[in-house]
Amino acid sequence: MNKPITKPTAATEAPETIKMNMIQAINSAMDVMLGRDPDVLVFGEDVGYFGGVFNATEGLQKKFGLNRCFDTPISEAGLIGTAVGMAAYGLRPCVEIQFADYIYPGYDQIVSEAARLRYRSAGDFWCPMTIRSPYGGGIFGGQTHSQSPEALFTHVAGIKTVIPSTPYDAKGLLIAAIEDDDPVVIFEPKRLYNGPFDGNPDNPVTPWQKIEGNDVPVGHYVVPLGKARIARAGNEVTVLAYGTMVHVAIASAETAGVDAEVVDLRTLSPVDIESITASVKKTGRCVIVHEATRTSGFGAELSALVQEACFYHLEAPIERVTGWDTPYPHAFEWEYFPGQKRIGAALKRVMEA
Amino acid sequence: MNKPITKPTAATEAPETIKMNMIQAINSAMDVMLGRDPDVLVFGEDVGYFGGVFNATEGLQKKFGLNRCFDTPISEAGLIGTAVGMAAYGLRPCVEIQFADYIYPGYDQIVSEAARLRYRSAGDFWCPMTIRSPYGGGIFGGQTHSQSPEALFTHVAGIKTVIPSTPYDAKGLLIAAIEDDDPVVIFEPKRLYNGPFDGNPDNPVTPWQKIEGNDVPVGHYVVPLGKARIARAGNEVTVLAYGTMVHVAIASAETAGVDAEVVDLRTLSPVDIESITASVKKTGRCVIVHEATRTSGFGAELSALVQEACFYHLEAPIERVTGWDTPYPHAFEWEYFPGQKRIGAALKRVMEA
Amino acid sequence: MASLKNSRALSLRIPEPRFRPGETADFSNLNISEAGVMPRPEVDTQPKDMRDLAYGLVRVLDKDGQAVGPWNPGLDIATLKRGLRNMMLTRVYDERLFRAQRQGKTSFYMKCTGEEAVSIAPAMVLNHDDMCFPTYRQQGILIARGYPIVEMMNQVFSNALDPMKGRQLPVMYSSKAHGFFTISGNLGTQFTQAVGWAMASALKGDDRIASAYIGDGSTAEGDFHHALTFAGVYRAPVILNIVNNQWAISSFQGIAGGEDAPFASRAIGYNLPALRVDGNDFLAVYAATQWAMERARSNLGATVIEHFTYRAEGHSTSDDPGRYRPAQEAKLWPLGDPIERLKNHLIHLGEWSDDDQQALHAELVELVRAAGKESESHGTLHAGDRPSVKTMFEDVYKEMDWRLIRQRQELGI
Amino acid sequence: MASLKNSRALSLRIPEPRFRPGETADFSNLNISEAGVMPRPEVDTQPKDMRDLAYGLVRVLDKDGQAVGPWNPGLDIATLKRGLRNMMLTRVYDERLFRAQRQGKTSFYMKCTGEEAVSIAPAMVLNHDDMCFPTYRQQGILIARGYPIVEMMNQVFSNALDPMKGRQLPVMYSSKAHGFFTISGNLGTQFTQAVGWAMASALKGDDRIASAYIGDGSTAEGDFHHALTFAGVYRAPVILNIVNNQWAISSFQGIAGGEDAPFASRAIGYNLPALRVDGNDFLAVYAATQWAMERARSNLGATVIEHFTYRAEGHSTSDDPGRYRPAQEAKLWPLGDPIERLKNHLIHLGEWSDDDQQALHAELVELVRAAGKESESHGTLHAGDRPSVKTMFEDVYKEMDWRLIRQRQELGI
Ligand SMILES: Cc1ncc(C[n+]2csc(CCOP(=O)(O)OP(=O)(O)O)c2C)c(N)n1
Ligand SMILES: Cc1ncc(C[n+]2csc(CCOP(=O)(O)OP(=O)(O)O)c2C)c(N)n1
Ligand SMILES: [Mg+2]
Ligand SMILES: [Mg+2]
């Protein structure tokens, strides 16, 4: 228990891949890990027989048995607290919080416990726990099914915060998280579960299955934590984004006609400072995009970091395009959601500055 | 109930003042409000007969009776949750969380409930609740008696976050908070309870009673929420600070020999953007200081705001001097605490940039 | 004690419901007390002297539609008919709004089918200024208190007249004027708030009490414990209703611990009295609420009531219960349907007929249809009018601060 | 029911302890069962068939120091003497460290005076690899398990050899090797974690069980409820100890609901068996733990044990109990002192004398003095050596990320 995970042998031939949507990729990550490591287990509200309200755990109980994948009482603090105990025992629990909006009852167990075990015990105990949770808007979920609370986690020393934007990353990052010996919170952009979303609700969504290049290995692989990805190469301005906003940012660059470099952060904490710095030093401009409310959002940290690292390279003020400082209002989905219009306008503003 | 508070009549003569330490000032605020408004009540763990572990509520139960000031079970979620219900009824509960480090179990009731009542009910219900809690380090309290979680509240739309740095402000802001019709979280810098602290643990602390100009009106007065205070006027660099760090920043400016303007924010959310902008536009330089861990701390928001508002006035990168991205370690109080040395160095760096 | 070491490998019990899709549900093992057999203690009985009530089931209506036993509230015919009408209106309302969601007129809907008595009987017992802290499944309270169903629909459609100004998910009503606290999307939180509200009322020497609701699944949240702790310690005038409809989305009540011990018995450890009630029996729910209300109003404190019922349909429009429980389970539920049972009682009393029932149903369908038309004329989620976008920035605080003013400008409105 | 309206103004009950400073405590109204009278059910008894044990008090040692009744664990003399020594060592240790705090050698200290049996007897019953999840008042577990007191002192002094590397508040020990989970400053959290640990052990077919502690005051936290819920639902092999020392800093147990119903009775609603035990009776605590352990090891699940004891001294070095309770209350506590009572039992058995007691005490004082000297030679909080400041940035994560590396550089180390 708590033993090192067997590292994959270097692939000699290209691994088998298939097209998966993001839910299937997440499901596959847990499937692979349940199969490889008897210490991995999956639980949460409705995740057992039913397979989760978004089907992320579908089939896992049937395949691996009740002991490896089961329902819990509706108690986020209880399920995270027991997961902390299991992780301290030596297991690698991977738990689901049904919506990120419902993580707060478990916040104390995350912040005061999971994040602290290793430090306060000087390495005597640690907590290899993964928390998965769907987050973000764009689905008419209203204020309690649309929140983006990532900044409440990036502020907490001792946990890592991860947000994927593609099926490939979702699977690879989730496997990395489960194998990580520290607690990791992964927020899954639920708007992207079925297909990428360009921010324009009038455009039909192409399912991931039809997206070219969306090839997800069926077996084990890892997308390392802490490494960003250039989602769109560009030269004029750097856009820092994650989750759904990666796709909206790319579309915004196209429609605004700005040659933006879109950096998909993938891991927010620890963030990939090198990729960020390299891109901003190249472009001299930076726009930060997220769905969360603006004040003290993760965009603030990004803005501060960029300013600290690239002050002498900046040719325009760094802009933040974010959700408003209000709860997420049901009827005003597209007025709240930072869409192409607002991002495009910001891109143009920084180009004109 | 939930009726408008009687506003003080314009004082014709100077109000009676006495020297109070910060605890006495806080006690006086509650005393005044319990006396003025029958809908105000005070409760929390150990706050009744005992008067609170820091004596903030001393004598209130004796003076106003069990119904106005009482002990609660050790349940931060329970006491905040019941306070939300009382506030919705029409009372103005002012509750104590014994240490800010213990606020997390009540986080859901604050974030999902207190902060949301007015918005989600379209003004049908609201929540005039005040949460007081001692926060911050400098007292060898170790990791669970030293935390500065303010950024976890500034990110939440619907609550206000306040941090005083003097007895006068502590009383006036607390009265303003109790009279405010929205939920307010006040973090009290416990290191300042007995006297200002310049960050140098070898210097003896002068009690507030002996501090010149520390005149606190005995009666009712208000320090308005949302308004900063220039704690030290200066021309070379703006220091944004709050709580204990205001005093450390002033001392740092003196010892570093930099003519810093120290802005004491007093209210973090909504922050006084005008005062900040005016000062930074004047000095062209900005150093931000707080005790909380750096990543996603409130300093990030301040840095982003300053950069957005004063980009073309900045002559040097904005610096953040903060607690490290670790829990607060018991034995390394002064290596963790942002003291004069680190602040002074930052002041000099921005002057040399 | 080293001898015990390695004596046996430990194992975990993961509770499973007795029946899954494809199987035939069988409730014959259910140990249900007969109608009329449970004693009715005086309202000032010490909790320790009435623990048995947490394990039995208070029932009034027997198989023949007769009201029997000490819990019979002895209601007059007008009240019975009002109860029937409220329950039927709630069901008709639910059916229309469910269809409206399927037609894309809103994003989401939740029915309370089979559980109408649990909200409506208490709403009829309590004064209208007693504050209810409902979950999303007590729309019946609003209906019983005469809140206009057009307004309810306006909320569900997030239209121009939505009293929640488009901010809330459908079914998340709020009406202080009807003693109906703003519903939260976060399970459980209202249970503690109700206790706080009741404490406030008592502190002010008021005479209003609070009535809180929580689902069987949600009893596992900390708020449940906080509510019972504070209610017990301060003897708060509140009724703590647990609606045990046996399902929490896909999880059966055993996942919350309800199979080993009835939820009502949780009250015992807090020295609170508990009543366990047939939630599909309008008269039993009515009588239990009366008992608890009298207790609260007499300064004797809180009562926990477990309403044993059955969630006859899916959790919400997003749910398909056929994926996790037998299709016919709802039909087999032995405690029947609250509307049917109250109807049979009225027929038994000679005050009602199947024709009356049909006529009333037709009337209510028409009433709801007309209301629906009116509401839809003010818009539905994706069509027609809606609240002004400007209002999106209001009510975050009492007054907008500079951030919200600027952001509203940024949005260009 | 409008008739009841305005019938009476409501009021709130705010519980108060019976005695305050200046008054004379009087425990004569306390209803304490005689030693030996409580029955000892078989370990496989259904919780519903043993509810009375939540309301009685399991006691073995009577007034004369005799062990009586079915709960007498029948320990051999060596075990009894080990128990006495462990308790005395804990008390002597506490006294020295308390003084050390007063001398400024550390920032804070917490004694467990009067409650030694509650940690030491269970630690002697359980296997050393059963994991305990203690609060700050169970230092006795480490002592009973042979953790070196020098190491404990190193932690308290945050000195160069502090196994927690100066990071934790004094008394917040951790030793996986001794089945002692890292103590949290946040009350209650460990209760749920213990259940999780036990679930993990059961899931793996292991044979180790968990033992969790919580204070009377802290039972009000949500974690208490979550722990009982999960323990009940999954039948986790865990012992859930409630240490009711009647005080939570300045709040008496009534503020947590303990006066109306014993904390043990909370177990009833979760279908968990409960034992209520004289926590100052080493033999009773020993026997209750044996019972619960056997139950857990036999896959019968969790047991809740309320240890009824009394916090004989202040909450911590920061506290002055004279400000909120009568000065002599501790002396009047009728269930005495666990050390005295076990000593008297040994004397009663003819195996011990007052002289032996004095000699042992002197030996332990010397042992602790020597350990203190050794520990202090490695530094105390404000003097002498301490851990390397570099380590401040370690163990936040398994590996330091760029932020911590940069910040360490920023600090110039
Ligand atoms: C804190 C929180 N956790 C999870 C959810 C998601 N959720 C919504 S309803 C529900 C099931 C509730 O079941 P129950 O309490 O039995 O009420 P019922 O739906 O049966 O009326 C869940 C898990 C939520 N809304 N809030
Ligand atoms: C979550 C949390 N809230 C409050 C505190 C402050 N606090 C520390 S000890 C204590 C009293 C605990 O009393 P009890 O549970 O009875 O344990 P005892 O001290 O009597 O052993 C309080 C309120 C804390 N440490 N954690
Ligand atoms: Mg349910
Ligand atoms: Mg205690």
Q: How far apart are the first and last CA of chain D?
A: 75
Cβ-nearest to B84 among C193, C401, C402? C193
Question: What are the pLDDT digits (tens) for C70-96?
Answer: 999 999 999 999 999 999 999 999 999
Residue B8 predicted with pLDDT over 70: no
* Alpha-carbon gap, residue D120 to D307, rounded angstroms: 13
In contact, B343 and B291? CB cutoff 8 Å = no
Integer Cα distance of B165 and B152 in angstroms = 20
For residue B23, report the distance from its CA to the centre of ligand 2, in Å.
22
Ion ligand 4, residues whose Cβ is below 5 A away: D 215-217, 245, 248
> Is residue C83 domain-shared with residue C205, that is, in the same domain?
yes
Domain B229-352 is found in CATH 3.40.50.920? yes
CATH number at residue D378: 3.40.50.970
ipTM over 0.90: yes
Instruction: Tell me, yes or no, whether D335 and D413 share the same domain.
Output: no
Asked if the Cβ–Cβ distance from B45 to D257 is below 8 Å, we say no
Q: Which of B50, B140, B294 sits opposite D324 (nearest CB)?
A: B50
Cβ <8 Å between C200 and B85? yes
Decide if B81 and C223 are in contact by the 8 Å CB cutoff.
yes
Domains A17-217 and A229-352 share a fold: yes
Question: Chain A interface, mutation test: which of C12, C20, C158, C381, most A Cβ atoms within 10 Å?
Answer: C158
Indicate the fold that domain B17-217 takes in CATH.
Answer: Rossmann fold (3.40.50)
The pLDDT mean for chain D works out to 96
Query: Helices A298-310 and A273-283 meet at what angle, rounded to 10?
Result: 60
How confident is the model over D344-390, as pLDDT tens digits?
999 999 999 999 999 999 999 999 999 999 999 999 999 999 999 99
Nearest to C200 among B89, B112, B181 (CB): B89
Residue B247 annotated as catalytic: no
For chain A, the chains sharing at least 3 beta-carbon pairs closer than 8 angstroms are: B, C, D
Interchain CB contacts (distance < 8 Å): B and C: 139
Per CB-CB distance under 8 Å, the chain C contacts of D205 are 9-11
Residue C183, in any domain of the structure: yes
Residues of chain C with C-beta less than 8 angstroms from the C-beta of B73: 226, 229-230, 233
- Given a cut of 50, whether residue D4 has pLDDT beyond it is no
| Angstroms from A126 CA to nearest CA on chain D | 9
CA pair distance A237, A260, nearest whole angstrom:
5
Per-residue pLDDT at D29 = 87
Q: Give distance in angstroms: CA of B33 to centre of ligand 3.
A: 43
- Tally of CB atoms within 10 A around C237: 32
The number of folded domains in chain D is 2
Cα B109 to ligand 2 centroid, rounded to whole Å: 20
Which pLDDT belongs to residue B3?
47
Is the confidence at residue B174, as pLDDT, over 90?
Answer: yes
* Two structure tokens written together for A185: 């919170």
pLDDT confidence of residue D151 = 98
Kind and range of the H or E run holding B84: helix B76-89
User: Do C206 and C291 share a domain, yes or no?
Assistant: yes
How near does any CA of chain D get to the CA of A51, in Å? 19
Ligand 2 binding site (Cβ under 6 Å of any ligand atom): B 45, 74, 76, 98, 102, 105; D 135, 137, 185-187, 215-218, 243, 245, 247-249, 311, 315
Closest residue in chain C to residue D299, using alpha carbons only: C10
Q: Closest residue (by CA) to atom 6 of ligand 2?
A: B98
Identity of residue A136 = G
Residues lining ligand 1, Cβ inside 6 A? A 45, 74, 98, 102, 105; C 135, 137, 185-187, 215-218, 243, 245, 247-249, 311, 315
**Domain boundaries defined on chain B:** 17-217, 229-352
User: pLDDT tens, B39-84?
Assistant: 999 999 999 999 999 999 999 999 999 999 999 999 999 999 999 9
D256 vs B48, B49, B74: nearest CB: B74
D253 and D395 within one domain: no
Sign (positive or negative) of CA dihedral D242, D246, D252, D254 = positive
Q: Which residues of chain C are modeled with pLDDT < 70?
A: 1-7
Closest CA to C118 of C239, C238, C224, C217: C239
| Cα-trace Rg, chain A | 20
Mean per-residue pLDDT for A167-179? 98
The answer to whether C218 touches A14, Cβ cutoff 8 Å, is no
Residue B129 C-alpha to ligand 2 middle, in angstroms?
A: 24
Residue from D101, D102, D225 nearest D157 by CA: D101
pLDDT tens for each residue of C275-323: 999 999 999 999 999 999 999 999 999 999 999 999 999 999 999 999 9
Question: A152 and B152 in contact by Cβ < 8 A?
Answer: yes
In tens, the pLDDT along C154-176 reads 999 999 999 999 999 999 999 99
Task: Mark B237-257 as b/e (b = at least 16 C-beta within 10 Å).
Answer: bbbbbbbbbbbbbbbbbebbe
Q: How far is ligand 3, taken at its centre, from the CA of residue C311, in Å?
A: 7
Assigned domain for D22 exists: no
Tell whether D332 and D410 lie within a shared domain: no
D324-356: pLDDT as tens digits: 999 988 899 999 999 999 999 999 999 999 999
Are residues C226 and B89, on separate chains, in Cβ contact within 8 Å? no
Q: Is residue C96 part of a domain?
A: yes
The average pLDDT across B117-145 equals: 98
Minimum-distance ligand 2 atom for the alpha carbon of D256: 16
Q: What is the pTM of this model?
A: 0.97
Residue D10: closest CA among B141, C209, A212? C209
Planar angle of CA D124, D129, D133, nearest 5 degrees: 80
B67–D12: do the CB atoms touch at under 8 Å?
A: yes
Residues D76 and D119 grouped into a single domain: yes
Residues within 8 A of B (CB atoms), A 95-124 only:
101, 104-105, 107-108, 111-112, 116, 119-120
The first and second tokens of residue D235, run together, are: 């039948």
Q: What is the per-residue pLDDT for B119? A: 98
Give me the residue from A111, A298, A318 closest to B307, CB to CB: A318
For residue D413, what are the domain limits? 389-413
Look at residue D156 and tell me if it is in a domain.
Answer: yes
Contacts of A157 in chain B (CB under 8 A): 293, 295, 325-327
Pairing of β B286-293 and β B237-241: parallel
Task: Report the candidate in B83, B89, B141 with the shortest Cα–Cα distance to residue B110.
Answer: B83
Distance (Å) from CA B315 to ligand 4 centroid: 57
Instruction: Give the mean pLDDT of D284-296.
Output: 98
Percent of chain A with pLDDT over 70: 97
Closest chain D residue by Cα to residue A67: D203
Whether C106 is in a domain gets the answer: yes
The total number of residues shown for chain B amounts to 353
Q: Which chains touch B (3 or more CB pairs under 8 A)?
A: A, C, D
Query: Which neighbouring-strand residues pair with C48?
Result: none
CB contact under 8 A, A298 and B293: no
D247-248 and D251-252: which strand pairing?
antiparallel
Residues D87-120 pLDDT 10s: 999 999 999 999 999 999 999 999 999 999 999 9
| Greatest alpha-carbon span in chain B | 60
To test the contact with chain A by mutation, choose from B74, B75, B153, B155 the residue with the greatest count of A C-beta atoms within 10 A, namely B155
For residues D268 and D300, state if they share a domain.
yes
Angular region, B161: left φ>0, alpha ψ -120 to 50, beta rest: beta
Residues D361 and D407 in one domain: no
* Whether residues C339 and C406 fall in one domain: no
A125 touching D (Cβ < 8 Å) = yes
Tell me: the pLDDT tens digits for B86-95?
999 999 999 9
Give which of C52, C223, C228, C233 to mutate to test D binding, by max D Cβ within 10 Å.
C233
Using the mean position of ligand 1's atoms as its centre, give its distance from the Cα of residue C217 in Å: 7
What are phi and psi for residue C218, nearest 5 degrees? Answer: -75, -10
Kindly give the pairing relationship between strand A69-71 and strand D210-215. Answer: unpaired
A2 has pLDDT over 80 = no
The gap between the terminal CA atoms of chain C, to the nearest Å, is: 75
**β-bridge mates for residue D277, sequence order:** D58, D307
Whether D30 is in a domain gets the answer: no
Option in B297, B308, B317 nearest A317 (CB)? B308
Q: CA D378, D382, D388: angle at the middle one, nearest 5?
A: 55
Please indicate, yes or no, whether residues C188 and C278 belong to a single structural domain of this protein.
yes
Say yes or no: C265 and C412 in one domain: no
Mutate to test the interface with A, among B103, B148, B271, B296 (most CBs of A within 10 A): B296
